[in-house]
Amino acid sequence: MKLYVLGACCMLAVSATKAQTVPAAEVSRIISVLAADSLEGRGTYTPGIEKASLFIESEFRKAGLSPLPGVTDYRQAFATAGRRIIPADSAAFFPGARTLHNVVGMIRGTGRPDEYVIFSGHYDHIGIIESKGEDSIANGADDDASGITAVILLANYFREHPPVRSVIFAAFTAEEIGGFGSRYFSRQLPADSIVAMFNIEMIGKESKFGRNSAFITGFERSDFGTILQRNLEGSTFHFYPDPYPEQRLFYRSDNATLARLGVPAHTISTTQIDKDQLYHSVDDEVETLDMQNIADIIQAIAVSAQSIVDGKDTPARIAPER
């Protein structure tokens, strides 16, 4: 009995320390901007997504992130021509090409700067859709303003905990219309230099396992999840394997391109995708989210990643898809 009481006391202490690091008020502030009606659901190619980009860039600047090597700002521009992805400098040769950009920043590693760990989410959503009552804005508070909020707050976290490996923070565009942003991003660095990718998608609500939990897609494909969980020993947080394998989420999110190249690239989520009535609706609003739970998840991701960003753990490569 005494041992049990001691254990509970220590676990409480761990969560109390964590709560101070990622404040729920910051989660609320950032999600509220990204999911505001004024951003009109962040549809790709709309003024709303441009507002989202400007906000993410300002947050990256505040966090002290550097642009990627060889460029001077956070915008990673490219263009699409139909289903093709083309470099922004050749867009002029493709009639109807449209220019897009990811928002990407980094913290250079103190010891192994040429090895990269990626934290990512997507900042687009589906924009204006068929109206329900007076509302026609698909705000995408969970999908994926919650993931971008995590990316921003992880940038702030790792500024305070300087990493040994370089850490890249990426907000992808055009996920909802074909994953164009992550597909372009994933080809800009040699896959061999990328140690791991933490893609974060829909962490706004409790997972089917309850508070203080999330699941990892493709858990069984590398030892990424096992490493993360080991780093959380002593806390009450738990990462589970994806409970919805029939949904093929592993290949439906922005981790897919790098995973196909063998990178241990996984998506962390809490979505109850099989029964979430708000998914891709006008009701995916800030008011439906649990800010403290999101803050706890972000904190858990930061702590669970520590041995990887510090170069002590290197997750096994994923078998490339044939």
Interface with Zn ion (CB under 5 A): 143-144
To the nearest 10°, report the CA torsion of 225, 230, 234, 239.
10
Whether 117 contacts 165, CB under 8 Å: yes
Whether 166 contacts 233, CB under 8 Å: no
Tokens in use for 104? 């990407």
Q: Which is nearer to Zn ion, 40 or 143 (CB)?
A: 143
Q: Is 93 helix (H, G, I), strand (E, B) or coil?
A: helix
Exposed / middle / buried, residue 181 (Cβ in 10 Å: 0-12, 13-18, 19+): buried
Q: Which is nearer to Zn ion, 97 or 118 (CB)?
A: 118
- Alpha carbon of 209 to those of 29, 156, 200, 279: distances in Å? 26, 28, 17, 19
Q: Which is nearer to Zn ion, 59 or 175 (CB)?
A: 175
Cβ of residue 34: shortest distance to Zn ion, in angstroms?
Answer: 13
List the Cα angle 291/305/13 in 5-degree steps.
Answer: 60
Q: Which is nearer to Zn ion, 143 or 296 (CB)?
A: 143
Cβ of residue 144: shortest distance to Zn ion, in angstroms?
Answer: 4
Cβ of residue 276: shortest distance to Zn ion, in angstroms?
Answer: 12
Cβ of residue 275: shortest distance to Zn ion, in angstroms?
Answer: 17
How far is the C-alpha of 71 from the C-alpha of 87, rounded, in Å? Answer: 14
How far is the C-alpha of 21 from the C-alpha of 9, rounded, in Å? Answer: 19
Give the rounded distance of the alpha carbon of 87 from its chain centre: 24
Q: Which is nearer to Zn ion, 97 or 151 (CB)?
A: 151
Q: Which is nearer to Zn ion, 108 or 280 (CB)?
A: 280
Place of tokens 């003024």: 47
Single-letter code of the amino acid located at 272: Q
How far is the C-alpha of 104 from the C-alpha of 261, rounded, in Å? Answer: 20
Tokens in use for 113? 């700067």
Cβ of residue 186: shortest distance to Zn ion, in angstroms?
Answer: 17
Cβ of residue 176: shortest distance to Zn ion, in angstroms?
Answer: 7
Cβ of residue 72: shortest distance to Zn ion, in angstroms?
Answer: 29
Q: Which is nearer to Zn ion, 115 or 143 (CB)?
A: 143
